[in-house]
Structure 1
């Protein structure tokens, strides 16, 4: 069986079905409509469960357990520089490197999430000072993903701290622009790293979106 989760069109359709079911279950009052939306959600769950993909195992429960009006997830990333070197953390999931960051947390502003993720993943304290970009993950060359994700990139000032690993990021280091390690492109692309450098060198650049 082909892995449907590597087909952008199929994933978009599955996202749409899940969104219809979640929204319908949230707002419907008629018991027959509620039953139909529940059946739609269960059928989508069965389709996903048949896919031989690590993504299915990791995300299936969250996808079908989510309630309320369906909206994209929010991923926050932080660019931290030491001179001309950029901070990257090694992701335990794929052994590749990314900007520090992760899913937005409840009761935290986007900037607070950026600072928290840097501290947790690298041991460094930073102060976010500029929103560099706000993007839709689907419109950039990341690997396909079932979730619909928005991404926010912050340029941060380094305050203090000592580099250290974390449970999710076993290594944190500063890298030169032209000597970057293999990137975890599910999280950050080379163009996004280049954009961080452009904003480092020209703070007057406007925030990029889409």
Structure 2
């Protein structure tokens, strides 16, 4: 199946799951709740038919919380030294990205990215600019179950030293014209090059989709 068709199925199924989750949160009538559960079942079957996950796996991954369904927030920290960029190698897939991950509840956005940088690379840093807020689906990332927004921050080193973590197996600075194999579910080369322009020109306005 073509990539665009897979993405379309993912987007439609994700929307059905979100409607089901929100409907179950607000509905008190059991008849309505049964319909929302059926909507979720149909969406799970659609997703399972186009992936290696079973319907039970899809259900467990999606319904980790209830309430009104909203996008997840992914924060990414961009630290440049000259034209070299701080990157970490993900233990999960063995590929490289910039430090970051899902924002935790009760963390302010800047604190979330500063924490991710320290946890994944060993360096401490200060977020100095929110450069971009991207809708993951509008960029060249592979299909993913959850809808998410990606917040890219320009950061400056304040201390620490390189070390790996339970999530990372490498910490290095790379030139933009000699990037390693990227974990494209997390970042793309185009995003990294664009963030370099924000690093050089701090007066550029924050970009958003």
TM-score (norm 2): 0.91
Alpha-carbon spacing, 1:4–1:79, altered in 2? closer, same or farther (3 Å): closer
Q: How does 1:199-210 map to 2 (within 5 A)?
A: 199-210=198-209
5+ unaligned residues in a row in structure 2: which ranges?
A: none
1:4·1:51 contact (CA, 8 Å) conserved in 2? no
Residue 178 of structure 2 aligns to a residue whose secondary structure is coil
User: 3-state SS of the aligned residue for 2:60?
Assistant: helix
Aligned mates of 1:99, 1:42 — CA distance in 2? 36
- Partners of 1:57 and 1:107 in 2: how far apart? 30
CA contact (8 A) 1:5 1:144 kept: no
Shifted more, 3-12 versus 158-167: the winner is: 3-12
Look up the SS of the partner of 2:153 in the other structure.
Answer: strand
Give the direction of change, closer, same or farther, for the CA distance of 1:174–1:4 in structure 2 (3 Å limit): closer
The Cα shift of 1:182 comes to 1.1
Distance, in Å, in 1 between the alignment partners of 2:54 and 2:73 is 17
Aligned to 2:22: 23
The one-character-per-residue Cα deviations of 1:55-106 (angstroms, maximum 9, x if unpaired) are 9897642313331111111111000122331100101122111010000101
Q: Does 2:87 match 1:88? A: yes
Q: Partner of 2:39 in structure 1?
A: 40
- Structure 1 residues 54-203: aligned runs within 5 Å: 60-203=59-202
Q: Distance in 2 between matches of 1:168 and 1:209?
A: 28
In 1, the alpha carbon distance for the partners of 2:53 and 2:163 equals: 28
- Per the TM alignment, residue 3 of structure 1 is displaced from its structure 2 partner at its CA by 10
Distance 1:55 1:79, change over 3 A: farther
The alpha-carbon distance between structure 1 residues 202 and 149, as it changes in their structure 2 partners (threshold 3 A), is same
Deviations 1:112-155 (A, max 9, x none): 11000000000000000000000101111111112111100000
CA distance in 1 between partners of 2:57 and 2:163 (Å): 27
Question: TM-score when scaled to structure 1?
Answer: 0.91
- Tell me the matched-pair count: 209
Q: 1:5, 1:146 within 8 Å by CA — same for their partners in 2?
A: no
Mark the CA change 1:174 to 1:55 in structure 2 (over 3 Å): closer, same or farther. farther
Once the two structures are TM-superposed, the CA of residue 48 in structure 1 deviates from its matched residue by: 3.5
Q: CA deviation at 1:41?
A: 1.9
